[in-house]
Every structure is written in structure tokens, then in C-alpha cells.
Amino acid sequence: MENSGAQGEFVETPIAVRYAETDQMGVVYYANYFVWFEVGRGAWCRARGFSYREMEAEDGRFMTVAEAICRYKAPARYEDDIAVRTYAEASKDKVVRFNYEILNKATGRLLATGSTVHVVTDANMRPARIPDRYRPLFGLPRR
């Protein structure tokens, strides 16, 4: 599931396009790529050895989205086998950035690229420190 790429290590997760995700243009509706990004983030966390569900439930820390970008290059269609490649970097203490590539697995074609920027917050959406045990996972020095 993991590999080295131009942007460093990524985690790849497969997605089969659902009928629900298409629109009347016959392709995947543009907002759904952001759902796929979220699936990629979750897979990235699990590949790093933790679950985002536990980070919320046990540590009371949330990765609140501050920015989301997607650039669309080619359409995805119903039943296409898609790969989401997720790269992460913690640029600052309370900020985590993910980059994504969406590919058609059969053709290898790059369908979209994107990124999301997250502020680590508590349950009340106030900025909060990344818990120490997650710091190395995000490439931050231990405290």
C-alpha cells in the first residue's frame, strides 16, 4: 500500500466509483473528489499506525479543514477503479497538509490532484497541539 513517489512516501487506497457519485453529465460529480480525499486521509492514518476515529474519540483532537483544493484533469466514471494517493506533511505545529493524486487504476491516467490543509483543534474547534504521540507520525520532532 505504500510507495515512494516524486513527493515522497504516499499511501494508496482503492475506490470503486459508485453510481451515487455520478451526475447527469455521466461522470463523477466534482464535490465527491473531496470525499475520496477524506478516504485517502483515513487510509494514510491507518498506514501510519493510528486511527483518526481514535484521535477524535480518545485524544479529543480533530483535523478541522481550513482549505481544500482540487484540480480536475480527466473524468471518472461509474465502476472505474480509482486509486487515491495521499501524501502528508506537517508544516507547522498545529497545521497538517495533505496532498492527493486521483488515478484511474486501469489506465494509470492522472484524473485529479488536490490538497487539504487542516488545523488541529479540540472538540470546540479551538486550535490545539498535536498530541505528542502523533508528532513523529506527521514528521514533527518529538517533544
Binding stretches for its own copies (CB under 8 A): 16, 18-20, 22-27, 29-32, 34-35, 38-39, 42, 51-53, 56, 62, 64-72, 75, 77-79, 116, 125
Helical axes 32-47 vs 52-59, angle rounded to 10°? 80
Cβ of residue 5: shortest distance to its own copies, in angstroms? Answer: 22
Intra-chain end-to-end CA distance of the chain, in Å: 29
Cβ of residue 107: shortest distance to its own copies, in angstroms? Answer: 15
Cβ of residue 128: shortest distance to its own copies, in angstroms? Answer: 14
Annotated catalytic residues are: 23
Q: Which of 22/99 has CB closer to its own copies?
A: 22
